[in-house]
Structure 1
Amino acid sequence: MPLPPQIIPCVDIQGGRAVRLYEGDPDRETVYFESPLLAARHWADLGAPLVHVVDLDAATGRGENRQIIAEIAGSLEVPLEVGGGVRDLKSVQTLLSLGVSRVVIGTAAVRRPELVAELLALHGPERIVVSVDARWPDVAVAGWAEASGVRVAEMTARLGEAGLETLIFTDVTRDGTLRGLDRILMGRVRQLWTNTLIVGGGVANLQDADLLGELGIEGAIVGRAIYEGTLTYPLP
């Protein structure tokens, strides 16, 4: 019997508030908490084993929220994983120095493939995660606003060769929409990536969580579904 997937609550920060975006569009936001710190504490208090934070302002070049991230890292008793606008060695080191447990690389892993191997050598596979955000079959970059010209299959092969352990995969056409997962696409990604696979968005309900377990996908980062209650957290 497959193990149930790990459900990882997500706190997206934009303009200093905890929000969720529709299909990654920064102009279509829903504010769930005025304070990202309170949002992170809320999920940690409910038993989250890990909290995933995305600095949307850093991802889109509109600013950054490192002070808020530092406050969250210093306040939580559970590990914190952070992504968004992480472009180089220095930004990774800065986040780790703030108390972040794992750093997520997205666009930089596509545009500078050598960076992933450098980071894995410096910090180890337990502290470096890569997010492959896609409009299948292509990888999207720059806060999902641009096509990269790189195919998902090419990207996953490259990351496997670099020694990456944990991959986040996001179908950006479904993130924040509550439309649920694409069963066929999830099966394709599971075949491409045999190490630890985390789905980065699209989970809407318990049926989606069951699908992840059925496919042997280890976990999912979930935002809108648990904020709006279409998926009970923690899972029943």
Structure 2
Amino acid sequence: MTSPVPQVIPCVDIQSGRAVRLYEGDPDRETVYFDSPLAAARHWADLGAGFLHLVDLDAATGRGENRAVIAEIVRELGVPVEVGGGVRDRAAAQTLLDAGVQRVVIGTAAVRRPELVAELIADYGPGRVVVSLDARGLEVATHGWAEGSGVQVGELTPRLAGAGLHTLIFTDVTRDGTLRGLDRDLMRQVRGLWRGELIVGGGVADTDDVRLLAEEGIEGAIVGRAIYEGTLPYPVRL
């Protein structure tokens, strides 16, 4: 018996004020899909998206930030969004949450400063905080995916569960933006390591990948290139 149809969450990656997708997370290998991130977000909202995943790539790589653009999307669309990229301290998280972001996505800081996750959950509740573990295999990558941390996903998941985390995002960095499809074995391993809500990314290409998620009991996927280029029709119907 399979799970219900997983939620497909459109992703809007923002770099230099434009909506882009990166190949394997490389900021120098971008494809621009919309000059305006607001136009990209509105496109998916108009197609029925009930939730959006925004990534501030400039903040993630230390090249700047796009908070004004993000605030405009929140203000203009009224669709719940989560935001990741460069959320490495309390001030950055608070700025986004105060701007109306539904939940913040903690990446590098979950590895380097795990106490931040517990503090934010205690202050804002588990519905406002998500952790994203972006990995090559099961080794977590940090600082905009540029560095290997030497830390395994399985070392972090018990600690995150103990901090009260409800939702985990796992991204397969080696497949992100490639349309290569999901790695079933890796998805199954991560599902075994995390029993809370699991949202995955990296390589989703078509409806077969969405069916794979349902078969493995994974609640959702963050999808970019596949829905921008139409290899996965959106809204998704199996």
On whether the aligned pair clears a TM of 0.5, the verdict is: yes
The equivalent of 2:128 in structure 1 is 127
Q: Percent identity?
A: 74
Name the SS of the counterpart of 1:11 in structure 2. Answer: strand
Are the aligned partners of 1:136 and 1:152 in contact in 2 as well (CA < 8 Å)?
no
1:49 positional shift: 1.2
1:160 positional shift: 1.1
The equivalent of 1:227 in structure 2 is 228
The equivalent of 2:211 in structure 1 is 210
The equivalent of 1:145 in structure 2 is 146
The equivalent of 1:85 in structure 2 is 86
The equivalent of 1:105 in structure 2 is 106
| Residues 55-94 of structure 1 mapped to structure 2, 5 A cutoff | 55-94=56-95
Are the aligned partners of 2:174 and 2:202 in contact in 1 as well (CA < 8 Å)?
no
CA distance in 2, matches of 1:217, 1:151: 20
Name the SS of the counterpart of 2:127 in structure 1. Answer: coil
Number of aligned residues:
236
1:137 positional shift: 2.2
CA distance in 1, matches of 2:102, 2:47: 20
The equivalent of 2:119 in structure 1 is 118
CA distance in 2, matches of 1:104, 1:199: 13
Letter in 2 for 1:110: V
Runs of 4+ in 1 over 6 A off after TM superposition: none
* Length-normalised TM-score, structure 1: 0.99
Are the aligned partners of 1:17 and 1:33 in contact in 2 as well (CA < 8 Å)?
yes
| Residues 139-178 of structure 1 mapped to structure 2, 5 A cutoff | 139-178=140-179
Structural RMSD (CA): 0.7
Letter in 2 for 1:226: I
Are the aligned partners of 2:204 and 2:226 in contact in 1 as well (CA < 8 Å)?
yes
1:202 positional shift: 1.6
* Length-normalised TM-score, structure 2: 0.98
Are the aligned partners of 2:9 and 2:223 in contact in 1 as well (CA < 8 Å)?
yes
1:46 aligns with 2:35: no
Are the aligned partners of 2:226 and 2:232 in contact in 1 as well (CA < 8 Å)?
yes
Are the aligned partners of 1:135 and 1:173 in contact in 2 as well (CA < 8 Å)?
yes
Name the SS of the counterpart of 1:173 in structure 2. Answer: helix
Gaps of 5+ in 1: none
CA distance in 2, matches of 1:77, 1:201: 27
CA distance in 2, matches of 1:149, 1:72: 36
CA distance in 2, matches of 1:49, 1:197: 18
Range 13-22 or range 75-84, more displaced = 75-84
Deviations 1:124-172 (A, max 9, x none): 0000000000011210000000011111110112111111000000000
